[in-house]
Amino acid sequence: MLEPLSKPLDKPGVRDAGTVTLKISGVSKYFGGIRALQDISVEFYEGEVHAILGENGAGKSTLMGIISGALQPSAGEISFGGDLVSPLSPERAATLGISISFQHPAILDDLSVLENFEVALPRSVFQDKPPREVARAALDLVGLHLPLRTRADVLTVAQKHLLEIAKALAIKPKVLIFDEPTASLDQEATDMLFGRIREMMEAGTSVIYITHRLAEVRLIAQRVTVLRDGRVRGVARVDEISDADVLGLIVGRTLGSAFPPKSSRQENEIDFAVQALSGRHFSDVSFEAARGQIIGVAGVAGNGQSELMRALAGLQKSQGAIRLKGRTLDHQSLVHEAAFMPSDRHSEGLASGLTVRENATFAALEKFATYGVLSRKEEMTQVVAAFRSLAVKAPGMEAPILSLSGGNQQKVVMARALLSKPGLIVADEPTQGVDVGARAEIYRILRETSNAGTPVIVNSSDAAELEGLCDKVIVLSRGHVVATLSGKDVNEARIVSAAVGAATHIGDTGAADRRNTLSGWRHFLQSDNAPTFPLTIVTALLGLYIFSQNSNFLSSYNVANILLAATALGFIALGQTVALLVGGIDLSVGPLAGFLVVIASFFVNEDQSFGMIAVGFFLMFGGALVAGLVNGILIRFANFTAIAATLATYIGIQGLSFLLRDSPGGYINAGVVDIINRQIGPIPIAFLVLVAFALAGEYALRRSRPGWRLRAIGCDQDSARRVGVQINRTYIAAFVLSALFTACGAVMLMAQIGVGDPRQGANYTLSSITAVVLGGTSLRGGRGTFIGTVLGALLLTEVLNAVAFLGLSETYQYVFQGGLILISALIYSTVQRRGDA
Amino acid sequence: MNQAADNVTDMLQRRGIFPYPVAQGFVTVAASTLVLLAACLVFAPSSVSPGALAGSLPFAAVMAIVGLGQLLVVQQGGFDLSVAGGVSLAVVIAAHYPDGDNARVLPAVLLAASCALAAGLANGILVGFVRLNAIIATIGVNALLYGAVFAVSGGVPRITTPLLAEIAGGTTLGVPNSVYFALVALLVVSFVLKKTVIGRRFEAIGANPAAARAVGLHVRLHQMMAYVCSQLLCCLAGVLLAGITREPTAFQGDALLLPSVAVVVLGSTSLLGGRGFPVSTVVAAFFLNQLSQFALAIGVPYSAQTIIQALALGFGIGVYSVHWTRNTRRSVK
């Protein structure tokens, strides 16, 4: 475990630079037994830019996570301005003035640019000035000229990075952390950023700057700390250390695993060639591989390597020529020809619910089958043979795949690749998360495969690995090949210096973009409320049509009827909207509404005192509160899916209704019914209340912190957590709110049914979902509209009413309902897809 | 660390009583069923009398068949709410179209099957290819199916055909025929899922669509097929129901929607998709049905029965969700 620390580079005199703002002492971090950081101690000084340098996986981002409060260290402490501040939460860190600009911007796509500011920044930032001015000023600072109401999903990657930086700057932080800020910025934006950093520095901010690029360290930083394998390898003043010394600290990791001998053949036959290949995030890549050669792809992570690998595997479109053994392949045939070993085993490599055997064979099933029926014997024989040659260690063929170690999981992925007898192997980070012993095995297998004549392409962020394994290495920077190394040049130092030293900037500009300059009208079409317009028109036209067929349709009696029914549905649908906004679904709303009416039927009767009636209403809302809490807690703390949790409460609540009353009974107080159904002209007051609720809800959704939080977690829970939203609390609150809206609906329902009937209510689950979908709320979460929901409820009720007025059979009632939901869902999904494109 | 993991699996393997590894869910649901049967024998012998079983088993069989259909959809991470409409439509076609005429039973069944095919394709295309949310798509198709139900029946029940009553409601060797149908459905589903190329690809796609796509499998086509098969099984269930029930109503399928999901969950298939357990699903259907019979026999009112079902469901999900988190949340790098 212990290896001697490299000689520390800090010289006497370095430490007396200024006041220490932030001090990390003895911090270690373990992820499930794997060490990410060990005994890190660093001091950050006021008015200084402190660069943190290191290869991928050195522990830089973990360290920043700890400083920003997103991660808790396993050991060690953090002090700020001399006071001990650990344990640190994201909120605490923000209050202290620690601000971070994440490598993967914590931008919520479904929120507008302004809302992204408002949800992420502490209230104190907006104390002196209105939010628009704060946001505008911060955006001007980074040169991002966008309308504030632009939805973040139309921003380019570079613009999202600038927005992330603007958010970090707006706090006017004492400690400002930049995690690889320039990865997708062009030269101009980078210069601008450096300018800002210098200003911050002069104002006394302590800036922590994480990067892979040595050139940037020279430009901007005063002090540099080098991390390797989770430890500090050295701290130095930038002007006192040479590039060579820094490189020496970054590299020099001992792999400790043996590499197989490289290709010694002198064949000139080119098996695999790529010419001028371009695609998303990489362009003009060319290389060729002679038989028996393993090609390595190197570079700082996120410079187009993984996209190139996907393109080579046919999983991503590309332009240019790919030739395999004389045949030119398009991306369709590449999918079948290439065996892809993804870098993220868990998301793309393994099917975690399946066994070892099933995981090994699902790409090659047809090879063990006659007429589509599998031969278990044949399958076993081949898998056992493959496992033997790959030395897979598994407790059994039927063991769950995740019970294997990372290395053996990866070997299973390799076994699958080899069993499908591919023409090409594309291995993306094949040894990530793999222990040393298994690495050697994986190198051996890749070499054997290559020797047998199957071209092998390996992407690795570990330069030493490429040095040991590959015959030729191409180094990518910002999507371009900056070096093609072969022979003796394939060594770690050359690879790292090519990757780190490259200064090309081809990222897109963060400046104005034609897509973002939307006129007011176009902006409305893009907003969550866009569906309200067509919905209103359809509702009105349909109303006029029915009126033309039967003039009684618009009689004040019928209008009131429709509105009352729509109010009951509307309230329940508002609740459903809240559940959908956070990315859940509440199936229990229907039975809950019915159940609450049953409760009311015991209290809100003719002969009851005012007090008892009040108790009845109290119990209705109390019952709803409990139901909402149960749903929320089951989902957040018992790990139920929203569907499973609310399905269980659905059945349970229905049972409770029948337990209280097995047949209809308990007539509702007529006076109360009258009050609930009171009208102004043909318009029920309750409907006006519903509209008021929807408008207030809409306002809260767009203009208040709880509203942004709801939408934030529906949009992306991970980003929401990083900007400091309390996921559990917000999620449970959403389900409680859903239940409380349902209780309002139940009050209306009570007046309409007039009796406690355990059979009523359940169908409101489906109609509430229908109304919400009609209204344009997305079932993916994050985007929704209360106004649309009310209109959806209105349209649905109108359609059902129309069937009676047009003298149509019940058939049409269902056909209209089904047609409406499908057509609207199709329209919305098409519109959204176009928006995404 | 790796050794620790290996040891755990060793332990898990050794704990198995059978030479063949048995799914944890199957053990749970089978043991629960045995406990329930024992409880029935002790506390409510009338619920397991031959007469009571002859009355309740056909409904368990129907629930099992619908559950198998739902299973296939759930395996693809989907959800088929149109089960209710699908079953109801098959019921009314099988009962109304022949109108008591035995000779028209076969055409009626074929008609029901083609309707099911159409509904399944509609669901499948909307979810698999148009990428609509499964809940929305199947709610919509469900409403359309009910439209068809009313077009066929006008909402009035009709007495079923004698031939259908004999085939679906009769017994062979003392066992209700519907049980044989359910067993055949189970055999076919299990065989296809576990022993054929298509079925194994289907499971892999459900377990991880991204990984399946990465090796070049046709994800969308298989997802669509799940919905088609689900509707065909609903059709079978509906036709059987039309024969079992003397005077089937137009809403016969509604009562099957939630149990269809419940048996899938109790059968330990994850609602997140992936590997499916047809045998466990069928056992769970028997379990859920017998639970109601038991409750009924010991004098529990209808109301409390659904509460018991909800608790059983909640408990089932709770037990398996512990399992899921171990599987899905371990992706810490």
Mean local confidence (pLDDT), A824-836: 73
Which residue from A minimizes the CA distance to B308?
A: A652
Q: Please state which of the four CATH numbers 3.40.50.360, 3.90.25.10, 3.30.2310.20, 3.40.50.300 is assigned to the domain occupying A20-250.
A: 3.40.50.300
Distances from the Cα of A291 to the Cα of A267, A641, A764, B152, angstroms: 7, 51, 66, 68
A399·B13 Cβ contact <8 A: yes
Which residue from B minimizes the CA distance to A401?
A: B327
Q: CB-CB: which of B139, B147, B307 is closest to A652?
A: B307
| Predicted complex: ipTM over 0.90 | no
A821·B314 Cβ contact <8 A: no
- Per-residue pLDDT tens digits for A414-456: 888 888 888 888 988 887 767 666 777 888 888 888 888 888 9
Q: CB-CB: which of B1, B200, B211 is closest to A348?
A: B211
A31·B301 Cβ contact <8 A: no
The beta-carbon contacts of A672-680 under 8 Å, at least 24 apart in sequence, are A672/A604, A672/A613, A672/A751, A673/A750, A673/A751, A673/A754, A676/A747, A676/A748, A676/A750, A676/A751, A677/A564, A677/A751, A679/A560
Whether A544 has its CB under 8 Å from any CB of chain B: the answer is no
Q: How far is A58 from chain B (nearest CA, A)?
A: 13
Chain A residues 339-378 within an 8 A CB cutoff of chain B = 339-340, 342, 346-354, 358, 361-363, 365-366, 369, 372-374, 376
- Per-residue pLDDT tens digits for A30-68: 876 667 788 888 888 888 899 988 776 678 878 888 888
- Per-residue pLDDT tens digits for B76-126: 988 898 999 999 999 888 888 887 777 788 888 899 899 999 999 999 999
B211·A342 Cβ contact <8 A: yes
Domains and CATH numbers, chain B: 25-322 (1.10.3470)
Q: CB-CB: which of B13, B131, B311 is closest to A396?
A: B13
B262·A361 Cβ contact <8 A: no
Assign A836 a pLDDT band (cuts: 50, 70, 90). very low
- Per-residue pLDDT tens digits for B248-266: 787 888 888 888 888 888 8
User: Which residues of chain A does CATH 1.10.3470 include?
Assistant: 520-836
The DSSP-derived string for A790-832 is: HHHHHHHHHHHHHHHHTT--HHHHHHHHHHHHHHHHHHHHHHH
Assign B235 a pLDDT band (cuts: 50, 70, 90). very high
For residue A229, report the phi and psi dihedrals to the nearest 5 degrees.
Answer: 50, 40
In the predicted structure, residue B323 carries a pLDDT above the cut 60 = no
Predicted local confidence at residue A513, as pLDDT: 44
Q: CB-CB: which of A362, A406, A817 is closest to B200?
A: A362
Q: How far is B183 from chain A (nearest CA, A)?
A: 20
Full 3-state SS string of A232-293: EEEEEEHHHCCHHHHHHHHCCCCCCCCCCCCCCCCCCCEEEEEEEEEECCEEEEEEEEECCC
Predicted local confidence at residue A267, as pLDDT: 64
Integer Cα distance of B142 and A815 in angstroms = 9
Q: Looking at beta carbons, which residues of chain B come within 8 Å of A649? A: 310
Which residue from B minimizes the CA distance to A769?
A: B136
Quote the tokens at residue A44: 């950050």
In the predicted structure, residue B327 carries a pLDDT above the cut 70 = no
In the predicted structure, residue A93 carries a pLDDT above the cut 90 = no
Interface test with B, best of A403, A654, A773, A800 (most B CBs within 10 A): A403
Report the amino acid identity of residue A286: S
Of A583, A582, A561, A585, the C-alpha closest to A573 is A585
SS3 of A113, please?
Answer: helix
Assign A6 a pLDDT band (cuts: 50, 70, 90). very low
Interface test with A, best of B217, B303, B315 (most A CBs within 10 A): B303
- Per-residue pLDDT tens digits for A496-517: 888 776 655 444 444 444 444 4
A313·B214 Cβ contact <8 A: yes
Q: H-type helices in A661-726, by residue range?
A: 670-676, 685-703, 705-715, 717-722
Distances from the Cα of A72 to the Cα of A92, A94, A739, angstroms: 13, 15, 35
Fold category of A520-836 in CATH: ABC transporter involved in vitamin B12 uptake, BtuC (1.10.3470)
- Per-residue pLDDT tens digits for A224-239: 888 887 888 888 888 8
Q: Looking at beta carbons, which residues of chain A come within 8 Å of B143? A: 814-815, 817-819, 821
Report the amino acid identity of residue B45: P
Assign A310 a pLDDT band (cuts: 50, 70, 90). confident
Distances from the Cα of B46 to the Cα of A682, B34, B43, angstroms: 59, 17, 9
Pairing, β A223-228 against β A231-237: antiparallel
Q: How far is B301 from chain A (nearest CA, A)?
A: 8
- Per-residue pLDDT tens digits for B193-233: 888 888 888 988 988 888 888 888 888 899 999 999 999 99
Integer Cα distance of A414 and A427 in angstroms = 9
Q: Which helix (H) or strand (E) holds A50?
A: strand A49-53
Integer Cα distance of A506 and A480 in angstroms = 9
Which segments of chain B are extended strands (E)? 171-172, 175-176
Residue A122 contacts residue A94 (beta carbons within 8 Å): yes
For residue A254, report the phi and psi dihedrals to the nearest 5 degrees.
Answer: -90, 125
B321·A638 Cβ contact <8 A: yes
In the predicted structure, residue A182 carries a pLDDT above the cut 60 = yes
Q: CB-CB: which of B135, B147, B303 is closest to A659?
A: B303
Whether A73 has its CB under 8 Å from any CB of chain B: the answer is no
Whether A420 has its CB under 8 Å from any CB of chain B: the answer is yes
Q: Which of A135-139, A179-183, A296-300, B281-285 ranks highest by mean pLDDT?
A: B281-285
Work out the percent of chain A whose per-residue pLDDT is above 70: 91
Integer Cα distance of A98 and A275 in angstroms = 47
Mean local confidence (pLDDT), A759-786: 87
In the predicted structure, residue B75 carries a pLDDT above the cut 50 = yes
For residue A486, report the phi and psi dihedrals to the nearest 5 degrees.
Answer: -145, 170
Burial class (CB in 10 A: 0-12, 13-18, 19+), B18: exposed
User: Which residues of chain A does CATH 3.40.50.300 include?
Assistant: 20-250, 270-501
Whether A659 has its CB under 8 Å from any CB of chain B: the answer is yes
Q: Looking at beta carbons, which residues of chain A come within 8 Å of B126? A: 822, 826
Q: CB-CB: which of A351, A408, A822 is closest to B274?
A: A351
Report the amino acid identity of residue A479: G
Whether A763 has its CB under 8 Å from any CB of chain B: the answer is no
Q: H-type helices in A121-209, by residue range?
A: 131-141, 157-170, 187-202
Residue A157 contacts residue A513 (beta carbons within 8 Å): no
Predicted local confidence at residue A837, as pLDDT: 40
As assigned by CATH, the class of the A270-501 domain is alpha beta
Q: How far is A497 from chain B (nearest CA, A)?
A: 27
In the predicted structure, residue B10 carries a pLDDT above the cut 70 = no
Whether A172 has its CB under 8 Å from any CB of chain B: the answer is no
In the predicted structure, residue A544 carries a pLDDT above the cut 70 = yes
CA B273 from centroid of its chain's CA atoms: 15
